[in-house]
Amino acid sequence: NAGVTQTPKFQVLKTGQSMTLQCAQDMNHEYMSWYRQDPGMGLRLIHYSVGAGITDQGEVPNGYNVSRSTTEDFPLRLLSAAPSQTSVYFCASSRDRGGYTFGSGTRLTVV
């Protein structure tokens, strides 16, 4: 039982490049979310999903896309990376509202 697995752990991008942050969970959780963590700003919700085929925007969705084709996977796509997207990204999943299990994070630097 791996829980929530995020890849990669570290990534450096050039401005304008695109990439996908991967997130997978093996707990059959319906709820999944993506957050970014920045100093002094806590965790801010980017996108979330309440089940396969259903996604919605969080607090800071601009510049990011998501899809949920399966219960297990919830990838986050950066369309055209900007320095403002330098952050630590966390994926999380839950069986119910609020009781989330978090991944170990992806540290992204955009230069």
CB of 104 to another protein, least distance (A): 5
Among 100, 106, 108, 110, binds another protein (CB under 8 A): 100
Among 32, 78, 105, 110, binds another protein (CB under 8 A): 105
CB of 76 to another protein, least distance (A): 16
Of the pair 13, 92, the CB lying nearest another protein is at: 92
Q: Tell the burial category of 32 from Cβ atoms under 10 Å away from its Cβ (0-12, 13-18, 19+).
A: buried
Taking alpha carbons only, the member of 70, 68, 28, 17 closest to residue 47 is 68
Of the pair 71, 103, the CB lying nearest another protein is at: 103
